[in-house]
Amino acid sequence: MHLIKQFGIVLLILFLGTFISDFFNIPIPGNVIGMVLLSIALIKGIVKLEDVEEAANLFLNHLAIFFVCPTVGIMLYFDMIKLQFLAIVVPTIGSIVIGLVVTGKVVQFIANRKVVDEYGKSGYTK
């Protein structure tokens, strides 16, 4: 019975995210907003990890099932994709490279920033 409660919490937050996305006409998918809401609820302690952990693990253990529909869609439209292959692959690889570079630079910046301790002495986080 507790698994039904856990799925209910996850689905409620998912639907809340979808409602927010649709109602406020936000160009962010509702499931992404729901995931952010769930993260905030977990951090703030509104939702306890035990309240959703088993359902989340079940989703993760069966994650491959969620890729069946997109894969079939790609197979159905393979002729169209083949015509636009470079227009799809080049931006995809470019965005991956840009994402990796930006992430690396942000991590370097955070790792090398100065910190001031409680006594007013400055130092580095290394």
Average pLDDT score, the chain: 89
Alpha carbons 9 and 52: distance in angstroms, whole number: 7
Answer whether residue 85 is part of any domain: no
Answer whether residue 86 is part of any domain: no
Q: What is the pLDDT of residues 64-113, one digit of tens each?
A: 898 888 888 888 888 988 999 999 999 999 999 999 999 999 998 888 87
Task: Identify the pLDDT of residue 121.
Answer: 61
Q: Which domain holds residue 41?
A: 1-61
Answer whether residue 36 is part of any domain: yes
The letter for the amino acid at 38 is L
Residues in Cβ contact with 31 at an 8 Å cutoff, skipping those fewer than 6 apart: 14, 17, 18
Answer whether residue 122 is part of any domain: no
Answer whether residue 57 is part of any domain: yes
Q: Taking the CB of residue 13, how many other CB atoms lie within 10 A of it? A: 22
Answer whether residue 124 is part of any domain: no
Q: Taking the CB of residue 33, how many other CB atoms lie within 10 A of it? A: 20
> In percent, how much of the chain has pLDDT > 70?
90
Answer whether residue 55 is part of any domain: yes
Alpha carbons 18 and 29: distance in angstroms, whole number: 7
Alpha carbons 107 and 26: distance in angstroms, whole number: 29
| Domains of the chain: total | 1
> In percent, how much of the chain has pLDDT > 90?
67
Tell me how far CA of residue 91 lies from CA of 16, 56, 115, in angstroms.
Answer: 32, 32, 38
DSSP output for 76-94: HTHHHHHHTHHHHHHHHHH
Answer whether residue 14 is part of any domain: yes
